[in-house]
Amino acid sequence: MKKYSMETIVGIFVFIGLLCVGYLTINLGKMELLGGDNYVLYALFNSASGLKADSSVEMAGVEIGRVSKIGLDSEREMALVMLKIHKDVQITDDAIASVKTSGIIGDKFIKITPGGSDIILQPGGTIVETESAIDLEDLISEYVFGGM
């Protein structure tokens, strides 16, 4: 009888340990279960060069979400960027999304400039006012080859 009670205690201890490891894996890996605390918005850019999935989305210098996916809208021939925004942040329909660079040669991120409208974008909505990143190579080539 004592052998079975010791095996039961060890089994319960191992089970609790596995639950703890699973919890830490999900939280430290920033995985989402059951939808998470985000909603999806889309933004259309002429160029999303340098922008990567999991880049930051910021408003007023505060991170409000992440870039989830970057693809091509073949109908409009524009870059379609999927943004995961924190549920507690509301973005108006006249907000401006810009691709910016952190520092001189840093990573690209999306900066949201709020608008003055009272209409809030619903989940799945699209930000149509966008500004693509300034391409440094294009500027240099225009200067060097007399385009300016």
35: pLDDT strictly greater than 70? no
CB 57 within 8 A of CB 65: yes
Predicted local confidence at residue 143, as pLDDT: 79
Co-location of 79 and 118 in the same domain: yes
Q: Within 10 Å of residue 18's Cβ, how many Cβ atoms?
A: 10
Which structural domain, as residue segments, surrounds residue 79?
38-132
CB 99 within 8 A of CB 48: yes
Does residue 144 lie in a domain region? Answer: no
Co-location of 56 and 110 in the same domain: yes
Does residue 48 lie in a domain region? Answer: yes
Does residue 137 lie in a domain region? Answer: no
Predicted local confidence at residue 2, as pLDDT: 65
Co-location of 49 and 100 in the same domain: yes
Co-location of 26 and 44 in the same domain: no
pTM: 0.69
Does residue 143 lie in a domain region? Answer: no
Co-location of 53 and 8 in the same domain: no
Co-location of 49 and 106 in the same domain: yes
Co-location of 100 and 128 in the same domain: yes
Mean pLDDT of 86-107: 87
Co-location of 9 and 48 in the same domain: no
